[in-house]
Every structure is written in structure tokens, then in C-alpha cells.
Amino acid sequence: MRHRALAFTLCLLAVPAHGQSPLQLGVGQRIWVRSAVVPGTLDAGVQGTLEWVIGDSLHLRLFPGAQTVSVFVGPQTQLFLFNGRRSSAGKGALIGGLVGAGMGALIGFGGGNDGGSFLSSGATAAMAGTLFGVVGAVGGLMLGALSSHDTWTRIGWKSPARPVFSPSPHGIRLGLSLPF
């Protein structure tokens, strides 16, 4: 009974969690290959549609009708998978609202009356900031909805089987490296 419980526990540990499973590359997917220039920084990289994989090289078609380009994937290379385009409406509304509120507050504070009338500089600044903030948020929302950006997910990639050469006392050994 103890052995069954141990075997059952080990079987559960071997199954990766949903978030741990690496995304698989497939022919026809849009990918972005970037390499480390200096530790911590990446180059602009190469974006294209995956045509085929040979060893440590990915063959990409940069745009429809173009010839394929071979890109070496080394240990310092990072791969990103295209997720689609997203709207920037929320970001535009936030930036437009903040800029509008700030400008409205400055204009309202400068144009307010501190001479004992109904509206003081602070009240004028609050009203103008609110009004300009709403106008700025609506304008930013419209501009952001018209613009969009690509979204990418970093993926882990292991190359397929590759030959490994190592020295031995009798010459050179030839082996095969398989990823798991």
C-alpha cells in the first residue's frame, strides 16, 4: 500500500501545471527572435512567419512573397510568439485625463478670484481640472481606440536532437543530445 501511495504521488509530481507548459512553435506562426547584445539588453531582432526548423536554426519568411531567412537560436536568444493586436484606448484615456486635469487645474487656479467672491482660486481650479480632465479622457480614449499595438508572449524553446562531439582517449566520441 505504501508503494502505491508513493507511485501515485510521484505521478502527480511529474505532470506540469497549466502555467508551466511551454508554448510550442508551429509552422505558420508569427514569431520574433531577439538576441542579447549586452547582458540585460536585447537587439531589435527579426520578426517573421516560421517556415521550418532545422537543428538550432529557424527559417523565417519576413513578409509574404519574400525568401526565407535562417536565424540561429543560441543560449542568449529569446523567442516571442505573436498574440495579436490590442487597442490602446485605456492607456489613451488615462494619459488624456491626467494631462487634461493638470492643465485645467493650472488654468483654473490662474484665472480664479481670491477677492472674496463666490469662486475662489481653489474651487475654480477644481472645476476646470474636472472639466478639462473629462474632455482629455474622452479625447485620449478616441485617439487610443484608433491606435493599436502588437502583443507578444515570451516562449521557451528547446532545439530538436543535435549531435554532440566530445574528446576521448581513443579519439572523438559522437553522441546525440535530446531535450526533455
Instruction: Tell me the three state secondary structure of residue 29.
Output: coil
pLDDT more than 70, % of the chain = 74
Cell of 39: 547582458
Q: Lowest-confidence range among 36-40, 93-97, 161-165? A: 161-165
Q: 59 near 27, Cβ under 8 Å?
A: no
pLDDT more than 90, % of the chain = 23
pTM check: above 0.75: no
Q: 60 near 48, Cβ under 8 Å?
A: yes
Beta strand 57-61 pairing with 46-54? antiparallel
Instruction: Tell me the three state secondary structure of residue 125.
Output: helix
- How high is the mean pLDDT of the chain? 78
Place of cell 491626467: 98
Q: Which residue stretches of 112-162 are H helix?
A: 121-146
> What pLDDT is recorded for position 14?
43
Q: Lowest-confidence range among 13-22, 149-158, 168-177? A: 13-22
Q: In this structure, how many other beta carbons lie within 10 angstroms of the beta carbon of residue 140? A: 23
What's the CATH code, domain 26-86?
Answer: 2.30.30
CA distance 62 to 71: 11
CA 97 to chain centroid: 26
- List CB contacts of 62: < 8 A, sequence separation 6 or more: 46, 47, 48, 69
CA distance 70 to 54: 9
Confidence of residue 10 (pLDDT cuts 50, 70, 90): very low
Listed by start position, the domains of the chain span 26-86, 89-148
Span 75-121, pLDDT tens digits: 788 889 999 889 999 999 999 999 999 999 988 887 766 655 666 77
Backbone angles phi, psi at 85, to 5 degrees: -105, 145
